[in-house]
Amino acid sequence: MPQASILAWLSNKSTSVPEATCTKAESAHSNFTSAQPTRPLSSQQDSSHTNIFSATTATTSTPSQPFIGSARPLPANVELRTCTKTDIPHLKRLNSLLLPLPYPDSFYREITEDPTTSNLTLLAFWHDDPAKISTPEETKGRLVGAISCRILPRPSAPLFPNTPSTEVEKRMLYLSTLVVLSPFRQHGIATRMLDIVTRRAISAYGVASIGAHVWEANAEAREWYAKRGFVELRREEGYYRRLEPRGAAVVVERRVSVMDLVGD
């Protein structure tokens, strides 16, 4: 794993946060939505991560109105749950299919061994017969989507104009990966996973915003984020050096609001 961003995963741990009880879009990065795993949004180091939905050029986007989480119910076939050690091989396979660059083993160990990362990771399984999801004879279903996030300190300078001073030092929920298999992207799975993880991050860790890096060539992912209230703050040139077309990452972020706490 020669690139700086993936190597950084081995040494750059997220800020310590209190433990919380668990209650991991389509890949907006990669095949639709994956994100840079470790680097704070202010860093300019090269990265092989791919929130593929996921010289620095600032944008002048205006923050959108608070995003209201999806009220759309998931199909009965979909089961969302936390990731266990037995799920890791399947998660690795899913990410290898949807993300153009591999993640180190430390990324997957953190999902099962770090309480915070575990709490902020969801897996989506599809069951052909939803009536049997809770029955002993039901199989585990097919893994069709996953989200994994981390808690990072926000940059010292506010990203949005007129940011209240009380928000500047608060933590950020950072999307490391967000992927959904193409045939299952019309069911709202990615949005629901993000909604759930966002509520957990607000309640347990007091985050003030949600952020990600998006490959500039991934128009689908950028549109996905825009529809969900994210603002494109700036470009980071050379962020995805190993991707073709080689290019910049777009830094996206949105503030959280009381509406993020509305939901199941």
SS3 85: helix
pLDDT in tens, the chain (264 residues): 333 443 344 345 444 444 443 333 333 343 444 443 333 333 333 333 334 333 233 343 444 444 555 557 899 999 999 999 999 999 999 999 998 778 999 999 999 999 999 999 999 999 988 877 776 555 678 999 999 999 998 765 455 555 555 554 579 999 999 999 999 999 999 999 999 999 999 999 999 999 999 988 889 999 999 999 999 998 988 877 777 767 788 999 999 999 998 865
Residue 18 lies in a domain: no
Q: What pLDDT does 165 receive?
A: 53
In-domain check, residue 180: yes
How many structural domains does the chain have?
1
pLDDT at 221: 92
Q: How many CA atoms lie within 13 A of 256 on its CB side?
A: 27
The answer as to whether 236 is a domain residue is: yes
Percent of the chain that is helix, strand, coil (3-state, to 5): 30, 25, 50
Q: What is the pLDDT of residue 31?
A: 41
Is there a domain that residue 58 lies in? yes
Q: Quickly count helices (H) and strands (E) in the chain.
A: 7, 8
Query: What CATH number is associated with residue 92?
Result: 3.40.630.30
Q: E strands within 75-221?
A: 78-81, 121-126, 142-153, 171-180, 209-215
Q: For residues 50 and 34, what is the distance between their CA atoms, to the nearest angstrom?
A: 5
Using the 8-state DSSP alphabet, how is residue 249 labeled? Answer: E
126 lies in some domain = yes
Tell me: cis bond preceding 245? Omega within 30 of 0 counts: yes
Q: What is the pLDDT of residue 28?
A: 39
Domain that holds residue 89: 4-13+24-261
pTM greater than the 0.85 cutoff? no
Contacts 24+ apart (CB under 8 A), 11-19: 12/38, 12/39, 14/38, 14/116, 14/117, 14/150, 14/151, 14/152, 15/151, 15/152, 15/153, 15/171, 17/116, 17/151, 17/171, 17/204, 17/205, 18/204, 18/205, 19/115, 19/116
